[in-house]
Amino acid sequence: MSEKVKCLIIGSGPAGFTAAIYAGRANLSPVLYEGIQPGGQLTTTTEIENFPGYPSGTTGVEMMEDLKKQSERFGADVRGGIATAVDFSAAPYKVTIDGEKVIETETVIISTGASAKYLGLADEQKYAGMGVSACATCDGFFYRKKTVAVVGGGDTACEEAIYLANLASKVYLIVRKPFLRASKIMQERVMTNPKIEVLFEHETEGLFGDNGVEGAHLVKRRGQADEEKVDIAIDGFFLAIGHKPNTDIFKPYLKLDEVGYIITENGTSKTNVPGVFAAGDVADPVYRQAITAAGSGCKAAIDAERYLSELGH
């Protein structure tokens, strides 16, 4: 069972839906498959206050619903389904949905996003949106003058701790190893910040609280003779142990960086395969914001439209 389309968008979220809006307005009749998490990572964020045009804020779910309706208004065909395999060896490109349906397409916009890495604790799910976050710049504002913890020892964790220290009254940095992996300058900034307390050789065992996170159960120097259980009182728990871009099925065809992010041509959404474009967090290890994802979705749709017009389609 196969179907031919002009523009296929894989993944939703701000990047996918913005690409669909622009592609629809350019008469590309885009087909969008929402993927594993319809609406993307933002649907797990309770409140969004930093997206322009929402002066009173909105929720991730509401914003994605708005974007979806707007894309459908301009003719986007939004469908449920997950891309399970691709063949980018020759145009038209083939994308398999849910292991059975094959879509043949002249252009592909990949907006499959990246998934935050979690510790794997049941409490992370229990308190999702109630004190557990994987994005300090998204959610830090809600913890002004409160106490928070950041998990991780690399540059991202240090950056998040420093960012949160500007808002929170105290920041614990929970580091499994006896040292920080971050660059020297980031280490210095963390160690000299009076609001940040680094807990070396600590691991999180669980979280506790009645109506949200109120504290964390830690273990210090696990497996050593002086192993010790430690509880800290916190209002927010931030994961900063990295993101994994959702790019596994594209590996045989696209150039990826060492972590797995899609490499795009400087200043564009173009990948190494002509007619295949990438937008949003799947190609952005740096900013990872809704607004930057939306902007890159716009670029991808314009790049796709220009590519097709150059081919005379």
Which stretch of DSSP H or E encloses residue 188? helix 184-191
| Sign of the CA dihedral running 138, 143, 144, 149 | negative
Q: How far apart are CA 310 and CA 313, in angstroms?
A: 8
pLDDT tens for each residue of 17-74 = 999 999 999 999 999 999 877 877 777 666 788 899 999 999 888 999 999 999 999 9
Of the residues 7, 123, 139, 158, only one is catalytic, namely 139
The mean pLDDT of 232-246, rounded to a whole number, is 94
Do 104 and 142 belong together in one domain? no
Task: Kindly state the tokens that stand for 181.
Answer: 């992996």
Is 135 in the active site?
Answer: yes
**Confidence band of 174 (pLDDT split at 50, 70, 90):** very high
Task: Kindly report the backbone phi and psi dihedral angles of residue 259, in degrees, each rounded to the nearest multiple of 5, phi listed first.
Answer: -90, -25
Angstrom distances, CA of residue 245 to CA of 68, 113, 116, 180, 229: 23, 6, 9, 24, 34
Is residue 124 domain-shared with residue 233, that is, in the same domain?
A: yes
Kindly tell me if the per-residue pLDDT of 236 is higher than 70: yes
DSSP per-residue letters across 244-277: EES-GGGTTTS-B-TTSPBP--TTS-B-SSTTEE
Domain match, 96 and 60 both:
yes
Residues 124, 234 within the same domain: yes
pLDDT at 116: 85
Is the Cα dihedral 87, 93, 97, 101 positive or negative?
negative
Give pLDDT tens digits for 139-166: 999 999 999 999 999 988 998 999 999 9
Burial grade of 36 (CB within 10 A; 0-12, 13-18, 19 or more): middle
Mean pLDDT of 116-132: 93
- 299 and 250 assigned to the same domain: yes
Rounded distance between C-alpha atoms, residue 152 and residue 174, angstroms: 6
Confidence of residue 231 (pLDDT cuts 50, 70, 90): very high
Q: Are residues 247 and 110 in the same domain?
A: yes
> Interhelix angle for 155-165 vs 184-191, to 10°?
30
Do 226 and 258 sit in the same domain of this protein? no
The overall average pLDDT reported for the chain is 94
Residue with tokens 């106490």: 147
Give the end of a domain, one of 213, 239, 265.
239
Q: pLDDT tens digits for 193-229?
A: 999 999 999 999 999 999 999 999 999 999 999 999 9
Among residues 290, 287, 293, which one has the least CA distance to residue 57?
290
Our count of domains for the chain comes to: 2
Active-site residue 7, yes or no?
Answer: no
Query: How many other C-beta atoms can be found within 10 angstroms of the C-beta atom of residue 136?
Result: 26
Q: What is the per-residue pLDDT for 142?
A: 93
Same-domain status, 94 and 151: no
Residues 109 and 6 in one domain: yes
Distance (Å, whole) CA 262 – CA 301: 17
Backbone dihedral angles phi then psi of residue 186, each to the nearest 5 degrees: -70, -40
Are 61 and 122 in a shared domain? no
Do 111 and 146 sit in the same domain of this protein? no
Q: Which positions ≥6 away from 194 have C-beta within 8 Å?
A: none
CATH number at residue 289: 3.50.50.60
Asked whether residue 89 falls in the same domain as residue 145, the answer is: no
Burial of 54 (0-12, 13-18, 19+ CB in 10 A): middle
Structural domain for 170, as ranges: 118-239
Q: What's the pLDDT score for residue 38?
A: 80
Strand pairing report for 83-87 and 93-97: antiparallel
Domain boundary among 205, 239, 273: 239
Q: What is the pLDDT of residues 252-305, one digit of tens each?
A: 999 999 999 999 999 999 999 999 999 999 999 988 889 999 999 999 999 999
Q: 66, 77, 87, 135: which one is catalytic?
A: 135
Rounded CA-CA distance 159/112 in Å is 25
Mean pLDDT of 239-246: 92
Q: What is the pTM of this model?
A: 0.79
Residues 138, 158, 235, 303: which is the catalytic one? 138
| Distance in angstroms (rounded) separating the CA atoms of residues 41 and 244 | 12
Among 202, 224, 239, identify where a domain stops.
239
| Tokens encoding 217 | 């159960």
Q: Establish whether 158 is a catalytic residue.
A: no
According to DSSP, the residues that pair with 94 across neighbouring strands are 87, 104
In the predicted model, what is the mean pLDDT of residues 309-313? 89
